[in-house]
Amino acid sequence: MILVIAEKPSMGMDIAKAIGLAGGARNDGYVEARDDHVVTWCVGHLLQQAAPEAYGEEYASWDVAKLPIVPTDWKMEAGARTAKQLKVIGALLKKANGVINAGDSAREGQLIVDEVLDHFGYKGPVKRLWLHELNTPAIKKAIAAMKDNKEYRTLYESALARQRSDWLMGMNLTRGYTSAWKSRGNGGVLHVGRVQTPTLCMVVERDLEIENFVPKDYFVLRGKMHHKNGEFMATWQPPEGADCIGPDGRINKKDVVDAVAAKVRGKTAAITEHETKGKSQQPWLPFSLGGLQKAANKALGLSPAETLVIAQSLYEAHKLTSYPRTDYSHLPEGEHGMSKDIIEAAKSCFGSAWDYPGTPDFSLKSPAWDSSKIGDHHGIRPTMVRDYDLSKLSSKELAVYRMIVRQFLAQFYPPYKYDATGVILVAEGETFKATGTVEKSPGWKVLFRSGKETPETEDADGEEGEGASLPPMSKGDSCLVNDAIVESKKTTPPPRFNGASIIDAMERAHLFVSDERIKKVLKETGIGTPATRAAIVENLVSRGYIDEQGKGKKKFYISTARGRALYGAMPNELRKPDITAYFEELLKQVESGKLSLGDFFDHQLKFVTKLVNDIKSGKAAERIPKDLAPPDEKTAGKGGSKSATKSAPKFKKAEKGEKACPECGRAMRERQGGKSKFWGCTGYPACKKTLPFEEKEAA
């Protein structure tokens, strides 16, 4: 018997159908397929790292003196939710002559299945099924291309290293900083994580930058030019090094600008330079998960977590799109020949609702087709599922599916072409500049002008888009300066983080560091993974460190008083994404086989021990404010220079005799859920912590 272990039940059923069902009966936790195949599944991680107390009773209490906790023989255990399915797989493994690892095609998917095989000590042959799509033809193709699972051993070890290092940091530093937090009269838990903490710190630092921002005046002088062929505006260019230019490159002296305006008003300007260049812009690339999350946030107001759920549903439940948890936007060159069939399949699903203008040209090969720029996965694209009933999709799923289809369809439209013109004029010795563009051919941009979806993401090549056009003119022509207009402006603070910009910041974390070596690493990896970034942001919200405010497309994140307290408690090593870059670099070495799992752990242990010593010395406690009440879900001010923490309403901490929430310190109340009782936090929904209820507690 060959046992196929999928990552989740829906994937297992798709694989079973592709192999061919034997009788079609689904048993309790597995299904029989043809050719002596049995397909079973995990439900995400069936095993979890044991809690510290599993390594000794002395760790049951959060005693700083006992830190750091360093397991030598790592223990895994099944949760109550997963124990039954783990037992099913264990029984099936005893009968198996071979195994197929069908975890998700990523580092974590490798771990989810391999850790089960290691748990049961399975020693038989194992193949690896690496899937990009979940439709039957794609699964059959992947089955034919399976490799020995041993080839992915270092990928498993890399995932295991990540899991253990996160446990080591999370358990030790969360306990340590929580103890320091409570020593200052505060309640609840301070969570510390390798990715969560620098993400929070990005939000806090942005908020502080906004709230401490002092607007500065600056001035712009625009000349209203009259040419015989029409009027246009040109902007004054002060001489290089002029004392009216501030450190930020803006003009900061109004009297200078007023003097120039008076000097040129009503005078003649000569065109000294005139250049028109024909330019073209290739289609935006297909979506990576991060790109899709950013576009869906801008166009539809969806949070990163909502977009991930939708993308996963389009892939798993509806089979309409390829694997979503990808960092890559490019596509394999070998798939270019499938493109017409992919688009025709998508068109058959839309039927009469297919309203994209123009006709795709499948002979075109945009820069998206580049196998050297993909990894284990490629950009998200539609699949070849035909005639699917799109009424089965929710309105949000349909909107996201349309975005994915359109982004792929754009690859078969010609480049957007335009003329970019630059003009230099001189009036009374003062220089003015005007620029303009004239569209020559809309190309792929016709797909983005319907008004139905407008995720106008930044252009990949940084080229200018459409702008004001200029009248026909030539070098040597003259213009009359009809008017000179002085515009008084003020500098503005950066915007709050929102669903799009927080994902972008995590992807481009290299912009937040100065060390060139670390920049290089972060430019390749960012912080977090496509699969975890949205969950990290959601955790920061649910744990009360940041708050989501606003509605729809205007939603934004702002740090709470508790989030700022955690930020204040952190040493610089944890505030910046540098440490994540350092460990991601080491994880890549583990994955490539250049660094052993043990050596990686030694690096991690040195780092955690250093931070634990900082806590034990009392330095961490000194950085924490006293008696900070837990914030509610409306904790922060609306922005500007007003302090978010000053306007934050406070939740009362649990009083003596009340059960305190270990997450936030609020009181917990007895709740009824189904047939059993449980303790629920009174801060719900900002805090969703629950605890089991024991009958003896009711006495």
| Residue 195: both structure tokens together | 């990715």
DSSP secondary structure letters along 198-238? HHHHHHHHHHHHHHT----EEEEEEEEEEETTEEEEEEEEP
3-state secondary structure of 432: strand
CA 121 to chain centre: 36
CB atoms within 10 A of CB 56: 11
Considering 323, 388, 413, 567, which one is annotated as catalytic? 323
The dihedral over CA atoms of 398, 400, 402, 404, expressed in degrees to the nearest 10, equals: -140
Residue located via tokens 């223990």: 75
| Residue 336: both structure tokens together | 């270019």
| Residue 373: both structure tokens together | 């720029």
Residue located via tokens 């006495």: 699
In the annotation, is 323 catalytic?
Answer: yes
CA distances from 15 to 91, 105, 309, 310, 353 (A): 20, 14, 21, 21, 31
What value does the CA radius of gyration of the chain take, rounded to a whole number of Å?
Answer: 30
The residues, ordered by sequence, that sit 6+ positions from 300 with a Cβ below 8 Å of its Cβ are 396, 399, 400, 453, 553
The residues, ordered by sequence, that sit 6+ positions from 485 with a Cβ below 8 Å of its Cβ are 221, 222, 223, 224, 261
Tell which residue, 280, 609, 618, 260, has the closest CA to residue 443.
280
The 3-class secondary structure across 688-699, one letter per residue, is CCEEECCHHHHC
Q: H or E element: which one contains 679?
A: strand 676-681
Question: What is the longest distance spanned by two Cα atoms in the chain?
Answer: 96
What is the rounded distance in angstroms from the CA atom of residue 659 to the CA atom of residue 656?
8
Catalytic residues: 323
